[in-house]
Amino acid sequence: MGEYSKYQQKVIKNYYDNRENISLQRLQELVTELYLAEGKVRAKHWKSASAALEKLGLSKSRIEHLVAQDNPALLAQTVQELMNGAPKKK
């Protein structure tokens, strides 16, 4: 793989600088999708939410609890806490 142009380097740097915000935005979208989804689609959305929460550094036990509860309102509350800068581990 060759060298990246200055533009490509800037794009890559901006992505990594904003990775947390991107994950939070995706989680917000997933909350909406979870309210509307049923069956296999709902399970797929929970899997995606779980991966995004992991990237944000939430503890495994808390992620498992959210998924087991299967309650989008709890996920929305967690996303709000993350946006407000609350501690990630419980």
* Per-residue pLDDT, 41: 96
> How far, in Å, are 19, 28, 60, 88 from residue 65 at the CA level?
24, 18, 9, 14
46 occurs within a structural domain: yes
Residue-level pLDDT, tens digit, the chain, 90 residues: 469 999 999 999 999 999 999 999 999 999 999 999 999 999 999 999 999 999 899 999 999 999 999 999 999 999 999 999 855 554
Burial 58-71 (b: 16+ CB within 10 A, else e): beeeebeebbeeee
Total domains present in the chain? 1
* Per-residue pLDDT, 4: 94
* Per-residue pLDDT, 45: 96
Domain coverage including residue 38: 6-83
Token pair in block for residue 34: 């979870």
1 occurs within a structural domain: no
Q: What residue spans of the chain are helical by DSSP H? A: 6-17, 19-36, 39-55, 60-69, 72-83
Residue 16: burial class (beta carbons within 10 Å; 0-12, 13-18, 19+): exposed
* Per-residue pLDDT, 85: 81
19 occurs within a structural domain: yes
Cβ within 8 Å of residue 65, ≥6 positions away: none
67 occurs within a structural domain: yes
